Amino acid sequence: MKLVPRYTDIADNFAIEDNPSSVAAPQLLLWNASLAEQFNIDIEPQLRASTFAGNEPQSVKAVALGYSGHQFGHFSPRLGDGRAHLLGAISDDKNQLWDIQLKGSGATPYSRGGDGRCALGPAIREYIMSEALHALGIKTTRCLAVVGTGEAVYRNPPQPGAIVTRLASSHIRVGSFQYLATQGDTEGLKKLADLALERHYPDISATGPERYLAFLDAVIKNQLALIISWMRVGFIHGVMNTDNTLVSGETIDYGPCAMMNVFDFDTVFSSIDKQGRYAFGNQPNIASWNCARLAESLIPLINEDDEQAVSLMTPIISQFSMLFNEQYNQMWAQKLGLVGHDDNDVELVSKLLLVLQEHKLDYTNTFDALTESFKDESVIPEPLTQWAQLWKSRTNNDSYKIMRAANPRVIPRNHIVETILDDYANMGASELLKPFMEVLSDPYFTSKNIAQYQEAPKEDKGYRTFCGT
């Protein structure tokens, strides 16, 4: 496992060298064997726990990254990795660089008085949810391992501690650019943008200001694709702060995330999202807002005159709504197997969503039933039988294949995830996890033993998720 440090070249205060704090009794709880094979991570089994607990000496000193963030709309100029240590970067089987980071590995210079630790529950949640999203074809950070620390984490109540090993194609956030922009570090901004371009957008060959305008355009389009994919499967991130927005377009930070069961655009589960800022249906607006914050940070790279820079970036930012509407309509067309174009399709989708909400129908199961209705029409939910007559007239022999690729049969149901987390908190293991992950690994076409994983509560009210800190 070759580690390649890079962030230390950006600015003096961007990546602070800091080693993980050792833990008392590391125990390997989860190991992602397929991911380890993809990255040729061949650490001896007996050393995995201590290595990914941060107890083993590293050939390259770890760093904690600095970043800012708009958290629920309020700007914090200095956040940073308060409980994470970046070990370096490794290459996958396609020669793509990925960051490898320990989360929950102890206090750093950015901890702001926190203990730098992670409770077991959020660590297991990140493993389940990130691997589930990966299987659903959604860009995401990956989880290599979860190690129990053998120590208590003092929350309310005290909980077992754990450390997550996270892989990401980079940890460059919108908040990373905000951090350097706030300090007026134009040179650092340029270095960071160039690194992001090298890692994620190597095909951009423009020079000068055009290079960074193209970068902004590419980030916006990647964010759009990510949000559309979340909405397609009913994923609610729950904490879409600018420090949790990667310029790579990958999902990061699984603290208060959840899946929507009963369809409702206003669905929100995060205990700290009192105003529904990050509700299911508001995620596109927040993504657009976050991209605008990135644009603000890039102003010094575009033009010395702020007004000139803004005028150059405005058309790029303004395209978000138009592009979203196009991709959003395409998403529904795929979920419903619509062929060609019909001006009445928007009304067809609107009527469907009204029935879904009025009758509190399950989002995933409804679209799975509509997909399977090409084999057996009796599975169409009764409230949709009349609507389905209009819908069927817009489909053809290719519709089943289109829909099956867009509509999962199973998702990581909240109540199952919570049961597994409780098992780990009480017993340090869960017999439910392995079969659950096997089913989630093939979410679109799996057909064996899935009924128990498709069951969903009729109401989501009262369910709450919490940040991992």
Measured from the Cβ of residue 469, the count of other Cβ atoms closer than 10 Å reads 15
Q: How far apart are CA 45 and CA 27, in angstroms?
A: 11
Q: How far apart are CA 226 and CA 334, in angstroms?
A: 16
Contact by Cβ (8 Å): 426, 391:
no
Write the DSSP assignment of 33-72 as a string of letters: HHHHHHTT----HHHHHHHTTT-S--SS--EEE---EEET
Residue 101: beta bridge partners? 86, 166
SS3 per residue for 301-358: HHCCCHHHHHHHHHHHHHHHHHHHHHHHHHHHHHHHCCCCCCCCHHHHHHHHHHHHHH
Contact by Cβ (8 Å): 216, 295:
yes
Measured from the Cβ of residue 399, the count of other Cβ atoms closer than 10 Å reads 20
Which amino acid is residue 402, in one-letter code? I
Write the DSSP assignment of 285-301 as a string of letters: HHHHHHHHHHHHHHHHH
Helices (H), 362-432: 363-372, 385-392, 399-406, 414-427
The SS3 of residue 171 is coil
The SS3 of residue 271 is coil
Contact by Cβ (8 Å): 181, 14:
no
Quote the tokens at residue 127: 């493993």
Name all contacts of 460-463 with Cβ < 8 Å and 24+ positions apart: 460/260, 460/261, 460/262, 460/267, 460/269, 460/414, 463/258, 463/269, 463/414
Contact by Cβ (8 Å): 55, 23:
yes
- φ/ψ region of 20 (left if φ > 0, alpha if ψ in -120 to 50, else beta) reads beta
Quote the tokens at residue 157: 């109540």
The residues annotated as belonging to the active site are 243
Look up tokens 């409230």; give the residue.
383
